[in-house]
Structure 1
């Protein structure tokens, strides 16, 4: 095992699993304007070139989103703002957002998703409609990511199953062959490796070769993790948290993603063609907490930009 000498409380070297180190290479992380404000300098926490997604929550002014993108971009990181279809009124609004992000913050990447709003504000209700406008390709965006769902999603398939989501994936596969942008499926977080592995393998069997950036929930209090998991519609893997909650000896301890990351990393090492390309972190317990976990487990893959030569 490799050794990384990093800890906020001890000078003892920490063992790093080389499979995990390789798996965390190039990881991305998600922030919001209000959580980004709590970070003095992302260079003290994130490796050079880290892709930072900026979540656009309903009610957040576009001005705040663009300002956050400009700030993080200015610190040397790739920025990927969310474009939630259901809160974008029309094509003119979409074009305006794209122009603002490009002109003010140098953005050239986007995550397109339906968004959590039940009733659309206007013309759009899904990411495919945003892609169909051609506005991202016209603007020369280099990366276009869309949502992936390792577990059933009742917002897309109300009756269960995967019929609608699979049809959407087939459409996105076709689009990936028409666009010049690189595409990936950024997934919701889940807590078990087995369903993720089965889902990723099933994508290949369906002819879907868009790379997967697997969502992983960063360390957080168990109560916080359960709250976010329910709110975000996490599926059957929620039982991992529910089982943990029944163990009073672990109830007050933070839940960390060590097990699922280690298992996925081992599978990737044993199966190099496995379709999971990168890890995408949801820092539910805080950005600094997530970055520290990555440093302690990711070795050279997680050395902050401020410490790199």
Structure 2
């Protein structure tokens, strides 16, 4: 792991006081290993991947709760084969006491496997509050989406915000990760201009190999120009190296203005592993307070 540069004192603001994490259904042993490094009550998102079973997803959510964290199971719209499958998942979460907070997403398949085209269709189904869901996370894309045009993204975000309000559901936005702080802060101001006041969790990749980060960036359409990469701390000439988000977080804290940006926190994508990410956060917060 790279040494952590001394961050601005501003990083000890609430940006890092209530961070969230992401794991897959297969990461239960890794979560156990990292549990002592994670503050109790931390929100832990559990992904909904195509190679996971219903039991694996439910068990992972229960493991998160058992360890003292808040499980936030993902629901992938296009991976649900039927309304019955959607209800079965929601019922399993409710029965395990892990279904009050969820994150809705369209998902990777190009075509829906059932009746749900996107996360808005999940919200508009009315099933979430019926099964005890109280808080719904939705996606945000500061750098756009490789398969969805900008106008559609804005329309979808406004629609989901309105649907949550209409059903009396709390919500938040988790952004796709990126390397350009200026784009992120500008985008947050834009959503406020659209009348969306939901809290925003800025997606940040935990420390990982540069080659791996580049691979994920290509997959998700994240900009990696030489100037942005340098500003973030990536070396495009040394793909064997590693990088953490210390410069990004320092710049985010420096540019963040609650009056313009509203409530903003951080969500870590654990590309380099749960424990590596949590070790990094502990060290970074320690140096921020020094």
Change over 3 Å in CA distance of 1:67–1:246 after alignment to 2 = closer
Structure 2 segments unaligned to the other structure (5+ residues): none
Q: Scaled by the length of structure 1, what TM-score is found?
A: 0.85
User: Which 4+ stretches in 1 moved above 6 angstroms?
Assistant: none
Map 1:213-252 to 2 at 5 A: 213-234=201-222, 236-237=223-224, 239=226, 240-241=228-229, 244-248=234-238, 251-252=239-240
CA distance in 2, matches of 1:288, 1:262: 22
Contact 1:36/1:68 (<8 A) preserved: yes
Change over 3 Å in CA distance of 1:74–1:184 after alignment to 2 = same
CA distance in 1, matches of 2:236, 2:73: 37
Question: Post-superposition shift, 1:18?
Answer: 3.1
RMSD: 2.6
Name the residue aligned to 1:4. Answer: none
Name the residue aligned to 2:159. Answer: 171
CA distance in 2, matches of 1:15, 1:301: 7
Contact 1:229/1:238 (<8 A) preserved: no
Change over 3 Å in CA distance of 1:124–1:242 after alignment to 2 = farther
Name the residue aligned to 2:90. Answer: 98
Question: Post-superposition shift, 1:17?
Answer: 3.9
Change over 3 Å in CA distance of 1:72–1:300 after alignment to 2 = farther
Name the residue aligned to 1:63. Answer: 55
Contact 1:17/1:297 (<8 A) preserved: no
1:275 equivalent among 251, 262, 287: 262
Name the residue aligned to 2:66. Answer: 74
CA distance in 2, matches of 1:246, 1:156: 27
1:141 equivalent among 115, 126, 133: 133
Question: Post-superposition shift, 1:140?
Answer: 2.5
Question: Post-superposition shift, 1:54?
Answer: 0.4
Contact 2:203/2:269 (<8 A) preserved: yes
Question: Post-superposition shift, 1:37?
Answer: 2.3
Contact 1:218/1:284 (<8 A) preserved: yes
Contact 2:94/2:132 (<8 A) preserved: no
Q: Scaled by the length of structure 2, what TM-score is found?
A: 0.90
Contact 1:190/1:238 (<8 A) preserved: no
Deviates most, 127-136 or 225-234? 225-234
Once the two structures are superposed, what CA deviation does each residue of 1:167-211 show, in whole Å capped at 9, x if it has no partner?
Answer: 112212212321322101111100010000111111111222222
Once the two structures are superposed, what CA deviation does each residue of 1:121-164 show, in whole Å capped at 9, x if it has no partner?
Answer: 1111100000011111112212101111101213222xxxx110
Number of paired residues?
285
Structure 1 segments unaligned to the other structure (5+ residues): 1-7, 303-309
Change over 3 Å in CA distance of 1:91–1:301 after alignment to 2 = farther
Change over 3 Å in CA distance of 1:246–1:40 after alignment to 2 = closer
CA distance in 2, matches of 1:40, 1:175: 36
Contact 2:6/2:287 (<8 A) preserved: no
CA distance in 2, matches of 1:276, 1:19: 15
2:249 equivalent among 253, 261, 264: 261
Question: Post-superposition shift, 1:260?
Answer: 1.1
Name the residue aligned to 1:290. Answer: 277
CA distance in 2, matches of 1:93, 1:301: 45
Name the residue aligned to 2:118. Answer: 126
What secondary structure is seen at the aligned counterpart in 1 of 2:201?
strand
